[in-house]
Structure 1
Amino acid sequence: MSSVPFLNTPEALRQLANQPHTPCQCSLQHCAGWESVSEAVWPAQQMQRVATLRDPDVYEPTFEEQHPNGTRYDSADAPVALKFFPYNRCDVHVCGKCQQHALRYTEFGGYYVDPRARRLAAERITD
């Protein structure tokens, strides 16, 4: 069982995204879309995991993506759709310096592990 709350509605995620934050110079500034953020670059000392989007009742979440307007997985304007990949495999973190929220998950390939992050923007969260 997770020690952080499971957010299962767009409204709950929007509440986090709408919390005030200030400019910060951390490595997340370049993460408008999904970006590789290695453990060496992830600002772990200032990040706190505050929620998860992983449904504890779903053993194998879908890999289907949602792109109704022709966006791509790594597009800065791609929708944040909770029930679709990769959001259904994410945790939500907050920066202790600027209070910016970020989504994080790990991409697993045949021979690699790639931690990825995306800043959370309320206007991208869809139903």
Structure 2
Amino acid sequence: MPDLPLLDLAALRALARDSAAIAGACACVAPAPIAWTSMPMELPQSRLERIATLIAAADYELSVEEYHPRGTHYWSPDAPIAIDRYPGNHCDVWRCRQCGRCFLHYTEGGGYFVDRRIRLLDPALIVDTSIAQD
């Protein structure tokens, strides 16, 4: 597997803006999850290509602390995307091979299951945790 570029906050925001500007119909749009969800059957992983990562290679034990300054929670459609907090820090960035829209993707592993989770990359939700949020 080739090494993936590690995106910083500015690069992720730029990619998200480009992705959000894509107009037109695509099979990835209908099931495109705004909040975290299991990979929809209508959006097979083969339709996507992995293009970058948010996982800092030097971090052996990645934090599982979430970031919800406005009372959101993991499942909230408006939950912030923070690259240094869970689940952002466990994600790779995937792009639709047909239209170019981007998604965050990671694998949730529990005691008895593995669940591939996905979320549409929304530039409005990307936050800098070093800056106080209202």
TM-score by length of 2: 0.85
Structure 2 residue aligned with 1:64:
65
Asked if 1 retains the 8 angstrom alpha-carbon contact of 2:31 and 2:43, the reply is no
Looking at structure 1, the residues matched to 95 and 32 of structure 2 have their Cα atoms a distance apart, in angstroms, of: 16
Structure 2 residue aligned with 1:115:
116
Structure 2 residue aligned with 1:25:
27
Looking at structure 2, the residues matched to 27 and 110 of structure 1 have their Cα atoms a distance apart, in angstroms, of: 32
The percentage of counterpart residues that share the same residue type is: 42
Asked if 1 retains the 8 angstrom alpha-carbon contact of 2:31 and 2:42, the reply is no
Structure 1: segments with no counterpart, 5+ residues? none
**Coordinate RMSD, CA, aligned:** 1.8
Aligned residue identity for 2:83: L
Deviations 1:74-121 (A, max 9, x none): 111000000000110100001022211000001111101111000000
SS at match of 2:31: helix
Q: How much has 1:55 moved relative to structure 2?
A: 0.3
Structure 2: segments with no counterpart, 5+ residues? 129-134
SS at match of 1:123: helix
- Which structure 2 residues correspond to residues 42-61 of structure 1 after superposition, within 5 A? 42-61=43-62
Looking at structure 2, the residues matched to 14 and 80 of structure 1 have their Cα atoms a distance apart, in angstroms, of: 10
Looking at structure 1, the residues matched to 30 and 96 of structure 2 have their Cα atoms a distance apart, in angstroms, of: 9
Asked if 2 retains the 8 angstrom alpha-carbon contact of 1:63 and 1:85, the reply is yes
Count how many residue pairs are aligned between Structure 1 and Structure 2: 125
